[in-house]
Structure 1
Amino acid sequence: MTKKSIKEGRKGIGLGATSAVAWGVDTVIIGVIIASTPFKEAVMLAPIIAAFMHDFFSSIWISLLMIIKGEFLNVLKLYKTKSGAILVLGALSGGPLAMSFYFLGIQYAGVTYAASIASIFPGIGAVLAFFFLKEKMNRRTWSGVVLSIIGVIVLAYVPTKFDTESTFFIGILFALGAAIFWGLEGVIGAWGMRGKDVVPLYAINIRQMTSALSYAIILVPLLHGYPLVFEAATSDIVWLIVIAGFLGTANYSLYYSSINLIGAARGQSLNNTYVFWAILTEIVFIGTRVNFQFVIGAIIVLIGSILVSGNIKK
């Protein structure tokens, strides 16, 4: 392996790990947004409208960056290519489809179980990348993927009364659907970035614009959500949404750059450690107490991440 390849491998691992920090902080901010006026007054509609506004502002941030760099026209031209079409599919998978399934899972099964089930997406992505992208996965990497998922479930799980009603199992199926679509997004994104004219920032620009447009044209009108959008846009909370959109842009830019350098399986597993950073952010800034479950889960996640990173020279 050349020194350049080793350097790129280390860079990919660093970018994947940093993307998890950005998404973890972003997750906490989104939670604060949804719990604030006017979102807290529209319990069922709030998550999807917040997700739309998040991706809308994120698309503005990344588009502004591309305009400043003088490369926005290259992004638009990419839409006409095969790679662009593939990236659009990835955006639809990871944006409206995964998020809608995820929130339906929360609605029917509750936050605890939906979050725990959806967190298996790196494992699904690893399997898909192994079969469809022919990414090489040794025992150490597979062990890291499994440990990362177990660690995230330990961190996210809070014992609740197990409800055996049919809606609970429907919710579990929805959450599993979210995991499948998020796993697909990473694999499709890696596939789309194999095109010679594609760079990660172009892919992110397409991802965020496609997701925002899908919400704007299909989901939000379908749910009659524009009154809430306009109410939120004229409230003080809009500035927090703008910040969240910036963090979302940072996360996806780092995440896509990571999977471009080290593959979908490793990039997804490193990004999945965001749960650790989200809980740590809550501990530091909101005052959530540290418990034994957090310590154990955090250790498992970190060990899993180290194993996923693997020996770069190999």
Structure 2
Amino acid sequence: MKKKSTAAAIAAKDRLKASFFKKGVTIGLLSGLTYGLFAAFITLAMQRGIWGDWYGDNTAGLSTFAIVFILGALGTALNDILSAVWAFINCGRKGKIQDFFRTLNTAPGRMLMLAAVMGGPIANVAYIIGIQLAGSIAIPITALCPAIGAILGRVIYKQELNKRMALGIIICVSASVIIGSVGIGGDTGDSIVLGLVIAFVAALGWGLEGVIAGFGSSMVDTEISITIRQVTSGVANFLILLPILGLLGGGITQPFVLAGQAFASGSSMIWFAVSGFFAFISFMWWYKGNSMTGAAMGMATNGTYSFFGPLSCWVLLGIIMGQDGWSLTAIEWFAAVTMAIGIFVIAMNPLDLFKKKEEVLDEAA
């Protein structure tokens, strides 16, 4: 009788563990979907109001450097500040504001801030600039971050990098080569190569963020972690990155003048608020998915934005808004799906899915 009760307890524990893992996978996939929505809405925001003047007729007489880099960084900064506002509202609603400030001066908090710098001022800005230069085909390139994260984890933390994971990395790289070759050979502007290179910088930054944040987020509440992440990213963008770009562009005050004009542009700020909300949700679910399934699977499920990103841009900008240039060819869709497959291969052995299904059927029998 004791053996039967022990076996039943173990079986119940295994079912609970499997259910927890599946919930984590679902949350990770939702983080990929919401990141795709964030990409579409921030692109829309950077077409409205004053942004239409800057990128369109350029009545302000901005330099090429300012249009490409300062505006890209400014758009990311606005998004992250509004995303931090959403995160603060969430923390306030749940009574976690004091916990947020207490966590800042801890080792995990500092690790999360370092991860935010990698993923915010570096990766997010590169992501937005990459989309502006290359269009939605830049999105799957940035989804190389799980492959880069696996490699960096091996180099920095001596984590496992077996043959299966190496195969997944090869699949991801092959898909990115397909995407890049199609874009370069198509009708896209001369900026395509630079856009894809900058998109790879985003992948590198997010790979570093995933590796660094893996330590901090394992010891900090997810909602506090994402608040630290978004606040750090927004502040670093405004107080560090934008002034540096201003100096490089010929005037340290220019980014702040542009920021004032952007804040006053209500027709674009509405969409920045929407993009900030989806960025907040996406990163929160990414961090939560990592804590429930492990960093490898969390990055893998979030990496499905390589598919959801182009899809969201096509639906919102191409179909709903009627803009040209957002549709993807069959080859590009194939490459995006291939990238998602490669990401899953890095995270887990696909055969394990069938093994788990067989185990469940055996238990039911």
Inter-CA distance 22–156: structure 2 relative to 1 (3 Å threshold): farther
Paired residue for 2:184, among 160, 166, 171? 160
- Paired residues for 1:15-34 under 5 Å: 15-34=27-46
Larger Rg: 2
Inter-CA distance 290–127: structure 2 relative to 1 (3 Å threshold): closer
Tell me the residue number matched to 2:64.
Answer: none
Residues 16 and 254 of structure 1 are in contact (CA less than 8 Å); yes or no, is this contact kept in structure 2? yes
CA distance in 2, matches of 1:170, 1:239: 30
Q: 1:61 offset after TM fit, Å? A: 0.3
CA distance in 2, matches of 1:149, 1:15: 26
CA distance in 1, matches of 2:28, 2:174: 19
Tell me the residue number matched to 2:61.
Answer: none
Residues 140 and 307 of structure 2 are in contact (CA less than 8 Å); yes or no, is this contact kept in structure 1? no
Paired residue for 2:309, among 258, 272, 278? 278
Inter-CA distance 21–114: structure 2 relative to 1 (3 Å threshold): closer
Q: Which has the larger displacement, 49-58 or 219-228? A: 219-228
Tell me the residue number matched to 1:201.
Answer: 223
Is residue 179 of structure 1 aligned with residue 193 of structure 2? no
Is residue 254 of structure 1 aligned with residue 279 of structure 2? no
Q: Which amino acid aligns with 1:281?
A: S
TM-score for both structures, normalised by structure 1:
0.83
Residues 27 and 289 of structure 2 are in contact (CA less than 8 Å); yes or no, is this contact kept in structure 1? yes
Q: Which amino acid aligns with 2:103?
A: L
Tell me the residue number matched to 2:72.
Answer: 47
Tell me the residue number matched to 2:104.
Answer: 79
Q: Deviations over 1:256-311 (max 9, x none)?
A: 11112222222222222213112222333323545321442244245335543543
Residues 112 and 156 of structure 1 are in contact (CA less than 8 Å); yes or no, is this contact kept in structure 2? no
Task: Name the SS for the 2:267 alignment partner.
Answer: coil
Identity %: 25
Inter-CA distance 145–5: structure 2 relative to 1 (3 Å threshold): farther
Gaps of 5+ in 2: 1-12, 56-66, 247-253, 320-325, 357-365
Q: Which amino acid aligns with 1:245?
A: G
State the structure with bigger RCO (CA 8 A, min sep 6), 1 or 2.
1
Inter-CA distance 103–231: structure 2 relative to 1 (3 Å threshold): same
Q: Deviations over 1:67-104 (max 9, x none)?
A: 11001110110011111111111011111122445567
Task: Name the SS for the 1:237 alignment partner.
Answer: helix
Task: Name the SS for the 1:58 alignment partner.
Answer: helix
CA distance in 2, matches of 1:182, 1:153: 19
How many residues align? The count is 307
Gaps of 5+ in 1: none
CA distance in 2, matches of 1:278, 1:131: 30
Task: Name the SS for the 1:35 alignment partner.
Answer: coil
Q: 1:238 offset after TM fit, Å? A: 0.8
TM-score for both structures, normalised by structure 2:
0.73
Paired residue for 1:5, among 17, 30, 38? 17
Q: 1:32 offset after TM fit, Å? A: 1.5
Residues 24 and 289 of structure 2 are in contact (CA less than 8 Å); yes or no, is this contact kept in structure 1? yes
Is residue 56 of structure 1 aligned with residue 63 of structure 2? no
Paired residue for 1:228, among 258, 261, 272? 258
CA distance in 2, matches of 1:152, 1:254: 25
Residues 48 and 100 of structure 1 are in contact (CA less than 8 Å); yes or no, is this contact kept in structure 2? yes
Q: Which has the larger displacement, 3-12 or 130-139? A: 130-139
Residues 101 and 175 of structure 1 are in contact (CA less than 8 Å); yes or no, is this contact kept in structure 2? yes
Residues 145 and 269 of structure 1 are in contact (CA less than 8 Å); yes or no, is this contact kept in structure 2? no
Tell me the residue number matched to 2:114.
Answer: 89
Tell me the residue number matched to 2:238.
Answer: 216
Residues 306 and 340 of structure 2 are in contact (CA less than 8 Å); yes or no, is this contact kept in structure 1? no
Task: Name the SS for the 1:240 alignment partner.
Answer: helix
CA distance in 2, matches of 1:298, 1:99: 20
CA distance in 1, matches of 2:307, 2:193: 27
Inter-CA distance 83–154: structure 2 relative to 1 (3 Å threshold): same
Residues 152 and 208 of structure 2 are in contact (CA less than 8 Å); yes or no, is this contact kept in structure 1? yes
Q: Which amino acid aligns with 2:110?
A: A
Residues 118 and 178 of structure 1 are in contact (CA less than 8 Å); yes or no, is this contact kept in structure 2? yes
Q: Which amino acid aligns with 2:80?
A: D
Residues 137 and 332 of structure 2 are in contact (CA less than 8 Å); yes or no, is this contact kept in structure 1? no
